[in-house]
Amino acid sequence: ESTGQEAASTFDKSGNFTMPRDTSDKNNNRREKLGISDQPFNAFVGRLLKNSEIKSDPAAQAAILSELGKLRAADAWSESTVTEWSLVRDSAVRSGKKVHVGRLHAIAAEKGSELPLGHPERKMKGRIVFLGNNVRDEDGQAALFGDLSSTPVTMEASRMCDAFGLLSGHAIEQADAEEAYIQSPLGGTETYIRLPKELQPDSWKHMRDPVCKLVMSLYGHPDAGGFWQAHCKNALGSVGFIEVSESWQSLFYHPELKVMMAVYVDDFKASGPVEALKKAWTLVRSKIRTGAPTPIGRYLGCHHNVVELKDRRVIEYDMRDFLEQCVSHYKKVCGEDVVLKKASTPFLDEDKLPEGDDNEPGKLADAACSVLMKVLYGARLARFDPLKAVAGLAFKVTKWSVSCDKRLFRLMCYINDSKGLKMRGYVGRDDKAEDLFVRLFADADFAGCRDTARSTSGVFLGIYGKNTFVPVAAQAKKQSCVSHSTPEAELVAANLALRTQGLPALEVFDKVFGRKVKLFFEEDNNTAISTIKAGYSNTMRHLGRTHRVSLRWMHEVFQDGQCEIRRCDTLLQAADIFTKGFTCREKWVAALNVIGIS
């Protein structure tokens, strides 16, 4: 619980907003303020070291040499095919054959950099990657690729896996693929590589422009992810796993063993009956090289803690380490001496913001995107509560103002003050798979944006039972155009919820549970409910043209009996937290409890 003074704006003598500063340093012995981060987009893979850091860090150099040895041992490229690029090029031109050439580059990254020094999961990783942004063909032109996109498993599917593993007699385990991409052969156009001079064998020293064939799907190649995903799908399929559906790529199910398997690049998560899991891992590891499976722990940067209680099994999603990293990144772009105060909600009172602030460019205009994208990852993975605040600020990144600075400051104060909050789900020990059902919540704030008068749609999806609750998905999205009434805004939100979360989720549950799983659609607006049941509205005949929403389609969704629409009490509307800017602490805490965060 938050106590103390709420985070407030700070103003200079001219009335302009400034960041609160720590004034305890009387001698002003401060370092020079940092400039804008050189890593503007968040990629949750670790802290990338600069070349100067690699040269001065023996651990980084050792990690790179270790990686080089592994790649050579795996025959990622064939050094026996070394030749001059000019010979390859001339031969390809004469024969009309297409060939590509690119460079390899050595990098080092500190995995788990958000963890304290000395932590066993904070490791230095060396990588030798293919520079896919600078590949040429035999004519010296930019190379064209097959555009084989890879689709890692979604975060929603990962939580479905968790829910399945919480059933009595079930477990959740994980394993990492070893040297993932280079387990899959590189297809497509024949590709040659140039090695950095410091990594070339001595026998190449006399050559002018030595190249050799790239054999495996090396990291960085534009199509490597696609070939790796195809390799995984074929390998898992050969041992009895089937992809749940084309809408849920990288999520697999074994009908005989009744085991779910989620694949996020090189991270494998499996859930199912304990004994069946052992057989499943044996099958998987016969086709894909992975480390030994372990009980679920730190997965995709989030600590998964399974707690065994007398009447239920609970899973806790702990994002403290990552959120601390978000706060550190914010302080880095603002200045380390920024003081973050207490904040019980992530929202300011919009009515108290001076109107002139929207017309003044914000100080964090160039850095706001990197902060927001980092926070968004944590929010989507395991802390749904900041989604509305992040969505509202993301809408402003191209027209960032002083008021946006204030809102972002408040959001980071809240994140700093609430790092200890965890999202939890649980399954009752007496609840069976056949007892579970899905509840889908949709809500909207009518004309909530004071700039555009557009509404925001909120969505929440969870798995429920007599003693079961597992949060699966949440969404906060600004509607594409202005709605003219509360029922209209609610219908647009309902369409979003059914189309993007509810119906796709049923594809998974129906296959895994082997039955038609019931979906209850929870709506708190009577007019919206009656309109969906009727399938038309004389006063909203414009919906198909303005919002591209079909009332007839929504009506048909509830005709087969699997989906049922119900009236939901407003106080129990789980999607409410994703549509409104709460400033009252008591109401905010109540909204958090409804979505399993405490």
- How much is the pLDDT for 116? 75
Residue 330 has pLDDT above 50, yes or no: yes
Q: CATH 3.30.420.10: which residues of the chain?
A: 423-594
Q: Where does the pLDDT of residue 528 fall: very low under 50, low under 70, confident under 90, or very high at 90 and above?
A: very high
- How much is the pLDDT for 100? 95
Residue 489 has pLDDT above 90, yes or no: yes
Q: Where does the pLDDT of residue 6 fall: very low under 50, low under 70, confident under 90, or very high at 90 and above?
A: very low
- How much is the pLDDT for 149? 59
Vertex 225: Cα angle to 37 and 128 (nearest 5): 60
Q: Which amino acid, one-letter code, is at 130?
A: F
Beta bridge partners of 109: 48, 125
Choose between 353 and 389: higher pLDDT: 389
| Mean pLDDT along residues 21-26 | 49
Q: Where does the pLDDT of residue 351 fall: very low under 50, low under 70, confident under 90, or very high at 90 and above?
A: confident
- How much is the pLDDT for 64? 87
- How much is the pLDDT for 154? 86
Choose between 543 and 54: higher pLDDT: 543
pLDDT per residue over 580-592, tens digit each? 999 999 999 999 9
Q: Where does the pLDDT of residue 326 fall: very low under 50, low under 70, confident under 90, or very high at 90 and above?
A: very high
Q: Give percent of the chain above pLDDT 70.
A: 91
- How much is the pLDDT for 18? 52
Q: Which of 453, 530, 447, 518 is nearest to 494 (CA)?
A: 530
pLDDT per residue over 270-294, tens digit each? 999 999 999 999 999 999 999 999 9
CATH architecture of 423-594: 2-Layer Sandwich (3.30)
Q: Which of 327, 476, 483 is nearest to 414 (CA)?
A: 327
Q: Where does the pLDDT of residue 148 fall: very low under 50, low under 70, confident under 90, or very high at 90 and above?
A: low
As a 3-state breakdown, the chain gives helix, strand, coil percent values, each rounded to 5, of 35, 25, 40
Lowest mean pLDDT among 25-29, 263-267, 414-418: 25-29
Sign of CA dihedral 218, 223, 225, 226: negative
Residue 91 in tokens: 């031969």
pLDDT per residue over 80-89, tens digit each? 999 999 999 9
pLDDT per residue over 54-87, tens digit each? 888 888 888 888 889 989 999 999 999 999 999 9
